[in-house]
Amino acid sequence: MELAVKRGRLGLEPADVVVLGQFEGEAALAGEAAELDKALSGLLSDVISEGEFRGKLLQVAMLPSRRAIPAKRVLLVGLGKRPEFALDRLRQAFGKAAKEVRDRGFRSLAAGLPGAEAGVLEPAAAAQAMTEGVLLGLYRLTRYKTAEAEELKEVEQFTIVAADEVAQRAAEQGSGRGRILAEAANFTRDLTVLPANEATPSYLARTAEELARSDGLTVTILDVPQMRELKMGALLGVAQGSQQPPRFIVLEHEGGRPRDRPIVLVGKGITFDTGGISLKPAERMEEMRGDKAGACAVLGTMRAVAALSLPVRVVGLAPATENMPGGTAQRPGDIVTSLSGLTIEVINTDAEGRLILADALGYAARYDPECVIDLATLTGACVIALGHEVTGLFGNDPELMDRLRRAGEVTGERVWPMPLFDEYDEQIKSDFADVKNVGGRPAGAITAAAFLKKFAKAYRWAHLDIAGTSWMDKPRAYLPKGATGVGVRLLCQFLEDWVRDRGR
Ligand code: BES
Ligand code: MN
Ligand code: ZN
């Protein structure tokens, strides 16, 4: 996809489709919209005043230009009510618009900087959000559709038209960042949906190695003997039922000052979760190939961090294994010793995510980190609590949690704080070991986090339960059915904000 930022007038732009964002219930057209309307002899004001297009969020109307302007069509896209407008609505509108352009067989679209003329949005932020919307919205996984591949229509060009040189320069910057972030999120989507017969732990490790080579990161892959050496008994316990050897992936970005303490990101990398001996029911088990979404988000974030050359030290950790039943699998009642020395009674082998994270969180302590953030498709209970709309946020540091919440607002990858009072620890007390890996039905997402908290004592820590947000049953404005790539844009925003505030 070619991205361009030009200086000029939208009405003179020779793209197939010119996209115009329009607020709900506003009949008066201003700026570029008024110019286009005039060139089209009042066509836009007619469809608006006649009530055909009201500007409701994500409403679209494709109008023929009848050769009155160079573009073949004008696409009106609703931005919703002006007071409710936010950056993510722009992202959504452009995701929807780009898909509309593609579905109708057009190959290029152009747009001005909506909101910029009204002073609502910075041109850089607007251009970034529009670019992300287009690239995220047009995403699809095509590699397994052998027959249809040739007939697929693709959009080839997105042009942002800026009114003056200052806006143009800002938009160029925003568009460049938007491309890096959206491409990293799409990389995470591809990797997350990849079936478990291909995406094994070794495959994830090889992908991390390729990433390191292409993007200039440092990579270390730990194998089973090294895990034994480190006494990663919790991770090895989960892995022992699988024919596929586990891998522990370490990616490092050496930005910033050499003596800075790093920010460590940890992602759950279960390449397939059968539940193990505590076997899951068959229905929708195929979605458990997405149980590596956290690890894939960490890989995608590291890729973006490197591409953006962020001046901060970032370490990405991804424990990767299958969770399989079988003759060598761990059993309910088994007791394992984690890297930190804490012993864990495995009551339910399907609560495997917290086990592999226990060792990864223990490993993170060796970096004396500034903070640690883990992402995990950890609990079905989180999906029950928050649905697919927001990520569950837990942690031991309110300031860190608030930073993540704010990054969620900007990126549209919203997160919401959940309580983690000490009383919940009662539910995971074991009769035989230091802790057990399940806490019963009540507050399932919280007791999972309470378990992780025991392994994150040495530093400031936040946990993101992405079980609901990493996978969609049906597509949204810029989210596909299946893997969403959640976490990549959120964490990059968090890191950029961190760098900015640290400089003060
Ligand atoms: N990977 C699952 C959680 C999950 C469920 C993610 C649905 C995405 C969609 C996790 O390993 C799991 O199985 N959790 C159990 C924990 C229980 C045994 C305490 C769960 O949520 O049922
Ligand atoms: Mn499980
Ligand atoms: Zn799992």
C-alpha–C-alpha distance, residues 434 and 456, integer Å? 15
Q: For ligand 1, say whether the CB of 357 is within 6 Å of any of its atoms.
A: no
User: 160 CB contacts (<8 Å, ≥6 apart)?
Assistant: 3, 4, 5, 6, 110, 111, 112, 113, 127, 130, 131, 171, 175
Q: Report which bound ligand comes closest to the CA of 382.
A: 1
Q: Which atom of ligand 1 is nearest to the CA of 382?
A: 21
Q: What is the pLDDT of residues 413-462, one digit of tens each?
A: 999 999 999 999 999 999 999 999 999 999 999 999 999 999 999 999 99
Q: How confident is the model at residue 118 (pLDDT cuts 50, 70, 90)?
A: low
Q: What is the pLDDT of residues 240-257, one digit of tens each?
A: 999 999 999 999 999 988
CATH topology of domain 2-182: Leucine Aminopeptidase, subunit E; domain 1 (3.40.220)
Q: How far is the CA of 484 from the centre of ligand 3 (A)?
A: 17
One-letter amino acid for residue 355 of the chain: L
Catalytic, 280? Answer yes
For 194-501, CATH gives 3.40.630.10
Rg (CA), the chain: 24
Q: Who has greater pLDDT, 235 or 143?
A: 235
Q: Which atom of ligand 1 is nearest to the CA of 290?
A: 8
Q: For ligand 1, say whether the CB of 381 is within 6 Å of any of its atoms.
A: yes
Whether the pLDDT of residue 386 is over 90: the answer is yes
Res 415: pLDDT = 98
Q: How confident is the model at residue 152 (pLDDT cuts 50, 70, 90)?
A: confident
Range list for CATH 3.40.630.10 in the chain: 194-501
Task: Identify the active-site residue in 189, 354, 454, 460.
Answer: 354
Q: What is the pLDDT of residues 253-275, one digit of tens each?
A: 999 887 899 999 999 999 999 99
Tokens of 33: 């919209």
Range list for CATH 3.40.220.10 in the chain: 2-182
Q: Is 305 left (phi over 0), alpha (psi -120 to 50) or beta?
A: alpha
Q: How far is the CA of 378 from the centre of ligand 3 (A)?
A: 6
User: What percent of the chain shows pLDDT beyond 70?
Assistant: 98
Q: For ligand 1, say whether the CB of 379 is within 6 Å of any of its atoms.
A: yes
What's the whole-number mean pLDDT along residues 337-353? 98
Q: What is the pLDDT of residues 281-306, one digit of tens each?
A: 999 999 999 999 999 999 999 999 99
Share the mean pLDDT of the chain. 96
Q: How far is the CA of 353 from the centre of ligand 2 (A)?
A: 6
Catalytic, 292? Answer no
Q: What DSSP letter does each residue of 88-156 carry, written as one string?
A: HHHHHHHHHHHHHHHHTT--EEEE--TTTTTTSS-HHHHHHHHHHHHHHHT----TT-TTGGGG-----
Whether the pLDDT of residue 144 is over 90: the answer is no
How do beta strands 343-345 and 435-436 pair? parallel
Q: For ligand 1, say whether the CB of 345 is within 6 Å of any of its atoms.
A: no
> 114-118, 293-297, 399-403, 406-410: which has the minimum mean pLDDT?
114-118
Q: For ligand 1, say whether the CB of 277 is within 6 Å of any of its atoms.
A: no
Q: What is the pLDDT of residues 465-500, one digit of tens each?
A: 999 999 999 999 999 999 999 999 999 999 999 999
Res 151: pLDDT = 73
